Each structure stands twice: as structure tokens, then as C-alpha cells.
Amino acid sequence: MESPRAPARGKTKNSRQEARVARGVSRRKALVVTARERLDPMNYQMKEMTRIEAQLAAARAALAASGKNPRQLGEESRLRVIEWIYHWGCTSATIVQLLLGRTSAGYAQKLARQGWLVATKTKSGLPNLFFTLSEHGRQEAERHAAALYRYPEIDPFRVNQQQIRHYLIAQSSTVNALNAGVIIDYETERMFSGEGDKSGVKRPDVAWMTKAGLTIGAEVELSAKWARDLDMFTLGIVRALQSGGDKPARYNRFAIISDSPAIINRYRAAMQPGVALLMWKKDQRGHWVIDKTIKVPEWLINKVDFHLIGD
């Protein structure tokens, strides 16, 4: 008679064979993973070397196309940074990187070590440092400048650190527009010759010039204006875009730049055709009172661009 346990023993034998095969497969997989782990750093190094070689090749090609030697290009880069800071007052390492189209943000620190710039820590830590001109840097800027401007930031503590983010957004917007060919030149507040806000005309953070001969007033808004401040802001832009008598308009367009969708929407709503616009004046006691109410002109919204930027 056939033993009833024979099938059970056969099944156990097959299971053992399958287990041995599975262990062998597992060991081979482990060896493959180990080999990959050993090769990954090598692959990364090779990719990094390839990337660096491509950057060097591009730099050599640009150098050959310019017809200038490395020293001349270095002097041009240094002067470009010095002039930028002379116009704006201060800047950051990232803005310098964008301005020069470099892959590294260490050039500003290099100029600080060479004595052209002064690096100062920010109170907020964002960015970690801001850069101003040293006395040596200011002299170099004035030696090459077409026009001279006051430079109070020779004392870095004169920089309003609460406004640094505002300054840097205006700068990044400008350098990006320059690099993209949207504008060909700019003027900062210290470069303006007009009286600006004193005459009720809005003075923007920076004026952009285009190839078509247009002048665009760019205004960075990071906090919302309300009531009288919003009315005067809107009226100032209207007056800046209007020609007066035989005087042409100071600006052809305005650009409002913000990182807040709510601020963008609020300003866009305030500048719609026919919206009530209060005009204010000071009474005999020096208090602000409503003088009269006018309507936002129909053409205003077509001459203002709204730009929402990422943080």
C-alpha cells in the first residue's frame, strides 16, 4: 500500500528547492544594488565633470567671441557691479549673479574681499548679507559715472533694512527685464531729475526704458494701501501718465509688481473705469480732508500692467 505521507514529503522537497532559488536570486539582487551604489558616485562625478567642462567651453567661446582677454572681462564685470550698486544703493549676491549671468553667487564676496564692496549681515537673515560700496568702490563709480549722485550708503547702517526685500524685488525685476531684452535701460529713484511725489505725480521705484522709446514706471507693492493712501497712489499714477499743457507725460505706462494676489486684485479693482476717486487736501489745521470726488478715467486700466511674482 502507498504511504499517505509521500505527497507531503515531495511537496516539502520542492519548497526547499524554491527557497534555495529565491535566496540565490536575492543574493544576486543584493550584489547588483551594491554595485550600483558603488557606481552612482562615479556616475555623479562624471556628470559633474561633463557639466563643468561644458560651462568652461561656453566661457571660452564667449571669451573668444568678445575679442577681449580675461583681465579686460574681469574689469568690465567689476565695473558693472559697482555701477549697479552706485545706482541702487545696495544689492545682494544673488542679484549680482543674475546681473553677470554667472552660475555661482560668490562674485560679490570676492569684490568685498578685494576692498571694492562692504558686506553687512542683515537682521532678518534673508538674504544673509547685503553689499554696499566701500570708499574705494564709490571713487571708482564716480570716476566712470556720466552723472554724480549722493551715496549715503557709504555708511551701511544708513540702509533701511526693513525695505531690503522691497529693494531687491525692484532690482531682480529690472535685471530680469534687461536680460530678457524687454527693456534697454533704467533709472532708479536717486537718478530722477523731477520732483516726483512732491508735485502729486507718482514717483516709481524705478523707470524702465524700452527699445520702442517708451518709459515705464515700475512700482513694487508688498503691503496694501487703504483709504487716502490708495486714492493718492491712484491719482499719482493718473497724473504721471497725463500730459500737462506743453509738457509730455512723464511715463507712457506703469507696472505694479507684487507677490500678493490680493494686493494685485485690490489695485486692479481701484483702477477700473468710473470708480470713485477721492481727492484730498489739508485744511487750516493741517488735517487731511476730502476736497472732491472724481472718477477714474477710462484709459487708466489700459496703461497699467500688473505683475504677480513668486516669493
Read off the pLDDT of residues 215-249 as tens digits, 9 standing for 90 and up: 999 999 999 999 999 999 999 999 999 987 778 89
Q: How confident is the model over 10-30, as a mean pLDDT? A: 60
Domain boundaries, the chain: 13-67, 68-159, 163-311
Average pLDDT taken over every residue of the chain: 85
Higher pLDDT, 65 or 305: 305
- Among candidate residues 103, 121, 303, the one with its CA nearest the CA of residue 94: 103
User: What residues have CB less than 8 Å from 240, skipping those under 6 apart?
Assistant: 201, 202, 203, 204, 217, 249, 250, 251, 254
Task: Classify residue 145 by burial, with Cβ atoms within 10 Å: 0-12, 13-18, 19+.
Answer: middle
Determine the pLDDT at residue 71: 78
pLDDT at 38 over 50: yes
Predicted pLDDT of residue 1? 47
68-159 folds as Arc Repressor Mutant, subunit A (1.10.10)
Q: Within a 13 Å sphere around the CA of 161, how many CA atoms are in the beta-carbon half?
A: 15
Q: Are 172 and 98 in contact (CB under 8 A)?
A: yes
Can you list the alpha helix ranges (DSSP code H) found in the chain? 6-66, 70-88, 93-100, 107-113, 135-144, 164-179, 227-241, 261-270
Which pLDDT score, from 0 to 100, does residue 65 have? 66
pLDDT band at 172 (very low <50, low <70, confident <90, very high): very high
pTM assigned to the model: 0.77
From 106-120, 175-189, 239-253, the region with the lowest mean pLDDT = 239-253
Q: Three-class SS of residue 216?
A: strand
